[in-house]
Amino acid sequence: MSPNEWLAILMVFAFFSMMMVGVPVAISLAVSGFAAGLIGFGPMLFSLLPARMFGVVSNYTLLAIPLFTFMGVMLEKSKVAEDMLETVGQAMGGLNGGMGLAIVLVGVLLGASTGIVGATVVTIGLLTLPVLLRRGYKPSVACGTICASGTLGQIIPPSLVLILLADILGESVGSIFAAAFIPSLMLAGVYVVYMLLLGWLRPQWVPAIPAAERALLSRKQLWKNIAKSVLPPLLLVVCVLGSIIGGLAAPTEAASIGALGALLIAGCAGRLNRDTLKQTLHGTLSISAMIFLILLCSQPFSLAFRGLGGEALVHDLFSLLPGGELGAILFLMVLLFVLGFFLEWIEISYIALPMFLPVFMGYGTDMVWLAILVALNLQMSFLTPPFGWALFFLKGVAPPGISTKDIYIGALPFVGLQMLAVALVFAFPTLATWLPNAIGW
């Protein structure tokens, strides 16, 4: 290998080393990229850097990120998500495993309306974990259900992950959203089947709400609660996603509708006040600033990696793998799964994935299919012990009686179910590609 190629490898190791000692991700990216690029080529390597950074900040599609974030944070801070969770729980509580089913269904709705894993896991954990334990749910089952349902926002549109993957892979956001629709519902369906099987085989682990408690709420009042707290967020999601997938609005335009709709829902519920708006704006600014800072700092890193011959190194590595295109995809899936133990999804998306992208472009891989495989894989990394971020989020809000062991054991069956979902999409690509092709994306 040439000295520049060795320097590219050293740059990657330097990035990971700085992260391991606690240097922020964005700073690690910028410092390692600038240092390696200056050593290898001098300042001329970065002559294209201003144009690349301007391309990030002027990307009209990426404007959807703060707008979708605002929509999700507003629904969380205004307690609309809490009302929805309580109502669905009341509706499903008569079944063995019914509260678990309610958490999965609310995870789908919150994932489609917020797309923020940390907020979803914390919200569901705070509201339901004490209730599930009080009603006799096995602690590990309760913890695993909450963590798995909270991570559905990674794959259910309008996920921020899907927006960034569309930008990285050069595909339209609408096509990626459409491609994720069936796999995400399939994954939620797998969770539902699992909870029903638990209710049938192990009813003592997931008992139903007692009939006396259910009788306190009339059927008429239940339907009134559903119309008040479930239908408005559901209609908002349908309008936003329907306008994108149906080609009626660009993602940014639909995101602005979603942000306005969240304001209206909070206002109609009587929850829109100065404090709620302040918290929502602060949360939106924090999340958006973190994402865009990493995007900007990844530009010198990727520019240096490409200039130092890193792409050729990756191509040579993949050429040694057996199995051609399918072998390369399997290798990528394993690598992303391992990286998910240590890195967040945005670092993996903007650092690891672009390194391997030229290889799959050379194979002629369907990028829409690849995007869904990557999104499912990144979601699985959120759940996998011992470093899954969703597990840490839940541990931070769990009652004192819940141990880390309970959370880890509860997550493992759902990791297996997610592996099954990845395997199904890998074996049957039409699960991801049929809907985009059917609607002409």
- C-alpha gyration radius of the chain: 22
Q: What is the mean pLDDT of residues 129-145?
A: 85
Residue 156 domain-assigned (yes or no): yes
Q: In this predicted model, what pLDDT tens digit does every residue of 217-257 receive, in sequence order? A: 667 777 887 788 788 888 887 888 778 777 777 778 888 88
| Residue 217, CB-side half-sphere exposure with 13 Å CA sphere | 20
How much is the pLDDT for 135? 76
Identify whether the C-beta of residue 308 lies closer than 8 Å to the C-beta of residue 40: yes
Q: In this predicted model, what pLDDT tens digit does every residue of 304-335 receive, in sequence order? A: 877 777 767 766 766 677 777 888 888 888 88
Residue 222 domain-assigned (yes or no): yes
Most confident of 108-112, 275-279, 284-288, 310-314: 275-279
Identify whether the C-beta of residue 162 lies closer than 8 Å to the C-beta of residue 169: no
How much is the pLDDT for 343? 66
Quote the percentage of the chain above a pLDDT of 70: 90
The whole-angstrom separation of Cα 104 and Cα 397 is 19
DSSP string, 41-67: T-GGGGGGHHHHHHHHHT-TGGGHHHH
How much is the pLDDT for 426? 92
Least confident of 51-60, 367-376, 407-416: 51-60
How much is the pLDDT for 431? 92
How much is the pLDDT for 186? 93
How much is the pLDDT for 287? 77
How much is the pLDDT for 372? 93
Residue 25 domain-assigned (yes or no): no
The whole-angstrom separation of Cα 169 and Cα 175 is 12
Can you give the residue range of the structural domain that contains 165? Answer: 61-300+309-438
Mean pLDDT computed over every residue of the chain: 81
DSSP string, 96-158: TTHHHHHHHHHHHHHHHHT--HHHHHHHHHHHHHHHHHHTT--HHHHHHHHHHHHGGGGTSSS
Identify whether the C-beta of residue 49 lies closer than 8 Å to the C-beta of residue 300: yes
How much is the pLDDT for 1? 64
Q: In this predicted model, what pLDDT tens digit does every residue of 77-94 receive, in sequence order? A: 887 777 777 777 677 766
Asked if residue 417 has pLDDT above 90, the reply is yes
Residue 265 domain-assigned (yes or no): yes
How much is the pLDDT for 423? 92
136 dihedral zone (left: phi>0; alpha: psi -120 to 50; beta): left
More confident residue, 440 or 266: 266
Identity of residue 367:
M
How much is the pLDDT for 211? 66
The whole-angstrom separation of Cα 41 and Cα 229 is 59
How much is the pLDDT for 16? 77
Q: In this predicted model, what pLDDT tens digit does every residue of 36-87 receive, in sequence order? A: 888 887 777 677 778 778 877 787 777 887 888 888 788 778 877 777 777 7
Residue 233 domain-assigned (yes or no): yes
The whole-angstrom separation of Cα 379 and Cα 345 is 8
Asked if residue 152 has pLDDT above 70, the reply is yes
Q: How far apart are the first and last CA of the chain?
A: 42
Residue 30 domain-assigned (yes or no): no
The total of structural domains in the chain comes to: 1
Identify whether the C-beta of residue 360 lies closer than 8 Å to the C-beta of residue 331: no
Residue 186 domain-assigned (yes or no): yes
The whole-angstrom separation of Cα 15 and Cα 7 is 12
Q: In this predicted model, what pLDDT tens digit does every residue of 185-222 receive, in sequence order? A: 999 999 999 988 988 888 888 887 766 666 666 677 77
Q: What is the mean pLDDT of residues 349-364?
A: 79
Residue 412 domain-assigned (yes or no): yes
Asked if residue 403 has pLDDT above 70, the reply is yes
How much is the pLDDT for 117? 64
Tokens of 142: 């309760």
3-state helix, strand, coil in the chain (%, to 5): 80, 0, 20
